[in-house]
Structure 1
């Protein structure tokens, strides 16, 4: 699956921004010694094994979200790949605060694949594509010049979990222990959310958008995994429909698949698209609508974007702001107000 279709599924717009290369952070003697023992770092992936010989200083991100993992570890890439949003450096608010005074990364603008020439012109010493749809041809061209990490073996394109992205990035930059700590801290927040919301356990939920019809994200997608991490189940039969893809556009006769205990919509225009969805005759009679069990998020607002990014940096924001909306929606009482995040 190529990048264009993944972007279309969340109504993303690609842009090109510019910036400056990152400066290396000064290290204490202890940190320098720890870094020296982390290399060479060896990472297995879909196309083989990549060795990072020394601490990388000029990292280019060709996946869609790895900049968040880098920043969570205190590392700034020299270039990122825009998913959508037109934010400088392809950094959304939850990640921008981690940039500090470091230079804003340059932004690459792929249309149907990686901009290989532009990547190589940046003279990187590491290319990260753990959350990408990198092809074998792209990998061969990049890896002939620079250590390149593709998506993991056995994972669908754009399907790498946030935990694996964080740990892959951590290993590549010599911060494996720090990456493990980042993961465990976020997983603790999920545990707290589950404990605070026992009503989620075993209930059915889904995340959907409009893409050639009603598009449902499955268990191999980060949004589907997010729901499962909160204790929800995905609709029965969904995996059979998604197959090896991260989601599926439902045929009209399958609309009742989204008659779930809680449903999260990702839309482009809150007022207009919400009204359109709820006026759809196939949707209007479902209990998820009549009992106000649906939650609507706008793609270009911070919460909507964070719900699609699903990274170590975006997830705390999602847990703080989306979970209360889901808790209000799941009670099945239309009178319960689902307060939109500010």
Structure 2
């Protein structure tokens, strides 16, 4: 789709610079242009979202996603984004999307790619995961159709439904939902025979925290039949929703005990920071040896592949194989399992 007035648009969005840090020079590891599978609805579709609505063009030649989670959501319904920015710091997401044919552009993790850098890729559509603040979305929405997908604290089913409806892939989304719910049902049958509690701890940038009840891992744990500490399971106070984690102090670390202790690791997450926190070694789950380091990137994600990853890890943990959970080195094999499951 042609766009007019590109230079004028870039000047108009310059003020958004306060929202984003200085982006590092992008890098495209591929020396050859990859073949991608951009797909679009048969006709323009108006998609309602938290910031208003977006009209998705009928013809799309270049879909650009500002983060790996948005890209993996598209991939789950059969659409390969043409360009992926790595703003979520998801090593596995970048790897899977790159293997699928997306051009991967590296930017600093846990930030926002500069709008000028995004628009320089000449997109027909920009797709992003919502940060709960509409300024970044609006910095590009006047220039190009921009679709904010659900935040990571939205359930995986609702998130998947959104992408299915937005891109006229409702049947594909429903097939993925059925497959994942079948896996959850099987896991819940096993946990009901041997009920256990599971506590999740994480640390990024030196802060020890617990995923909130709205987070991806917490919702899946409940659906799978696991119980957990109150911070992980109790409803959040009114007006405090939308947070993916709650910081926990050294003094309160003992309240996060459970039969099984899971600690986020790899990528932006550091298991070492959690494990050297005073009181960690006193947790009963740790003393019993029921401790597992999991890939925090995938456990924090509400995209379908993240959901599948968590379910697979929980199946291993339910069988008391605490060293058997998957890590970044297992990403390709686990993606193949996911593809086989969803058909």
When the two structures are superposed, what TM-score results if normalisation uses the length of structure 2?
A: 0.72
CA distance in 1, matches of 2:149, 2:102: 25
Shift of 1:192: 1.4
CA distance in 2, matches of 1:287, 1:46: 42
1:306 and 2:298 are equivalent in the alignment: yes
CA distance in 2, matches of 1:317, 1:84: 17
CA separation of 1:196/1:123 partners in 2, compared to 1, >3 Å: closer, same or farther?
same
CA separation of 1:172/1:17 partners in 2, compared to 1, >3 Å: closer, same or farther?
farther
Aligned 1:190-205 pairs, distance under 5 A: 190-199=184-193, 201=195, 203-205=196-198
Shift of 1:222: 1.3
Aligned 1:128-143 pairs, distance under 5 A: 128-129=127-128, 131-133=129-131, 135-143=133-141
Which residue is equivalent to 1:159? 153
CA distance in 2, matches of 1:188, 1:45: 29
1:45 and 2:45 are equivalent in the alignment: no
CA distance in 1, matches of 2:106, 2:278: 41
CA distance in 2, matches of 1:232, 1:151: 28
Q: Contact 1:21/1:77 (CA < 8 Å) preserved in 2? A: no
Query: Runs of 5+ in structure 2 lacking a partner?
Result: 1-23, 327-343
Which residue is equivalent to 2:317? 325
User: Secondary structure at 1:109's aligned position in 2?
Assistant: coil
Q: Contact 1:76/1:105 (CA < 8 Å) preserved in 2? A: no
CA separation of 1:49/1:21 partners in 2, compared to 1, >3 Å: closer, same or farther?
farther
User: Secondary structure at 1:309's aligned position in 2?
Assistant: coil
Deviations 1:150-181 (A, max 9, x none): 244xxxx5423332332222223221221122
1:79 and 2:83 are equivalent in the alignment: yes
Aligned 1:14-29 pairs, distance under 5 A: 16-18=26-28, 20=33, 22-24=35-37
Q: Contact 2:200/2:264 (CA < 8 Å) preserved in 1? A: yes
CA separation of 1:90/1:199 partners in 2, compared to 1, >3 Å: closer, same or farther?
same
When the two structures are superposed, what TM-score results if normalisation uses the length of structure 1?
A: 0.72
Which residue is equivalent to 2:323? 339
Shift of 1:70: 1.7
Which residue is equivalent to 2:126? 127
Matched residues, number: 291
Shift of 1:218: 0.9
User: Secondary structure at 1:140's aligned position in 2?
Assistant: helix
CA separation of 1:200/1:222 partners in 2, compared to 1, >3 Å: closer, same or farther?
farther
1:150 and 2:134 are equivalent in the alignment: no
Which residue is equivalent to 1:292? 289
Shift of 1:315: 3.2
1:115 and 2:108 are equivalent in the alignment: no
RMSD of equivalent CA atoms: 3.2
Shift of 1:215: 1.0
Which residue is equivalent to 1:210? 203
Q: Contact 2:56/2:125 (CA < 8 Å) preserved in 1? A: yes
